[in-house]
Amino acid sequence: MLADTVSVRPLSPTCGLEVEGLDLRQIGESEMTWLRSAVADNGVVAVRGQDLSPEQHIAFARQWGEIDYNRFFPINELYPEIALVQKEENQKVNIGGGWHTDHSYDVEPAMGSILLARELPPSGGDTLFASMYAAYDSLSDGLKATLETMRAVHTADHIYGHDGAYAKTDIASIFRGHDEHTLAVHPVIITHPTSGRKALYVNPSFTTRFDGWTREESLPLLQYLYAQAIAQDNVCTLQWKPGSIAIWDNRASWHFAKNDYHGHRRVMHRITIAGCALS
Ligand code: OGA
Ligand code: MN
């Protein structure tokens, strides 16, 4: 239940809500209950106008579950719970600049993340989100039935490893964990652990192939699914403002950090919430 002073607006027909008038520093149990299902149902909820210290950000995150410490991103030295998603004036490559869902390379992938805008470029730097419920719903009954029987392989080795995608870029030095190896096999279609809805659970960044298929065999079907997933009316744009916070569910959505603000700094603080094995 929400007070009359709280306003809620959809960001797109299938994905995302924007909320104004909530104070996450002192959120009540009934508001948390509303927020938990709003995030699971809509993939992402943006709450505007928050003024949270790092301690308050951490305290809010703990209300969602255990914190999942990211092994690859730079961390805030004072607050190891907080990963730094940041780009400097002189850097060209950003973190998260391709469609993905966080930590799908883990056997128990993170439930979601709570991203807080600390420093924004004068314009640009939006984050796009896409609903994986809508992606599933858009498929034919025949393809849904086939995908229900399939699993897919996820890893981050080709992203964060010594020869990975970031190794060749101007932000190579910010990452940690080059020796970590990740490998997980998840169903291609999952039943969301709390909403009970079916969702597509493959993504262009971390899914390498279908289990039992070669990569060459997998790519055409994966690419078909990816194109469906980001069909135009299935994507919403979150335009950040100072004090905006986004809470997203990695099982219900993908996201993409736009990299259109070269020459400006952007600093986001991310806390990731632990999840569970998916089925
Ligand atoms: C992330 C991420 C998006 C952004 O923090 O996981 O992908 O817009 N960030 O910074
Ligand atoms: Mn991400």
State whether the beta carbon of 127 lies less than 6 angstroms from ligand 1: yes
What was the pLDDT predicted at 84? 94
**Residue 30 belongs to some domain of the structure:** yes
- Residue nearest atom 8 of ligand 1, based on CA coordinates: 257
* Whether pLDDT at 1 is above 80: no
Residue 104 and residue 201 in contact, taking contact as beta carbons nearer than 8 Å: yes
Per residue in 70-103, pLDDT (tens digit) is 888 878 889 999 999 999 999 999 999 999 999 9
Q: Residue 206 is part of a domain; what is its CATH number?
A: 3.60.130.10
Q: Which residue has the tokens 């004036």?
A: 89
Ligand nearest to the CA of 118: 1
**Residue 279 belongs to some domain of the structure:** no
Per residue in 200-227, pLDDT (tens digit) is 999 999 999 999 999 999 999 999 999 9
**Residue 120 belongs to some domain of the structure:** yes
Give the structural domain span for 174.
7-273
Q: For the chain, state the CA radius of gyration.
A: 18
Q: Which of 102, 113, 115, 160 to mutate to test the pocket of ligand 1 (most atoms within 8 A of CB)?
A: 115
Question: Exposure pattern of 124-147 as b/e (b: 16+ CB <10 Å)?
Answer: ebebbbbbbbbbbbbbeeeebeeb
What was the pLDDT predicted at 173? 81
- By CB neighbour count within 10 A (0-12 exposed, 13-18 middle, 19+ buried), where does 172 fall? middle
**Residue 31 belongs to some domain of the structure:** yes
What was the pLDDT predicted at 75? 83
CA of 24: how far to CAs of 43, 50, 64, 73, 102, in Å?
19, 7, 12, 25, 23
Higher pLDDT among residues 167 and 44, named by residue:
44
What was the pLDDT predicted at 162? 84
State whether the beta carbon of 257 lies less than 6 angstroms from ligand 1: yes
How many separate domains does the chain show? 1
- pLDDT (mean) for 235-241: 97
Higher pLDDT among residues 151 and 163, named by residue:
151
Mind giving me the DSSP string for 201-264?
Answer: ---TTTEEEETTS-HHHHHHHHHHHHHHHT-GGGEEEE---TT-EEEEETTTEEEEE----TTS
- Counting residues of the chain whose pLDDT is more than 70, the rounded percentage is 100
- Residue nearest atom 3 of ligand 1, based on CA coordinates: 257
* Whether pLDDT at 190 is above 90: yes
What was the pLDDT predicted at 15? 95
Strand order in the sheet with 253-257: 235-238, 127-131, 253-257
**Residue 2 belongs to some domain of the structure:** no
**Residue 278 belongs to some domain of the structure:** no
**Residue 204 belongs to some domain of the structure:** yes
**Residue 1 belongs to some domain of the structure:** no
State whether the beta carbon of 198 lies less than 6 angstroms from ligand 1: no
Q: What is the mean pLDDT of the chain?
A: 95
Q: How confident is the model at residue 27 (pLDDT cuts 50, 70, 90)?
A: very high
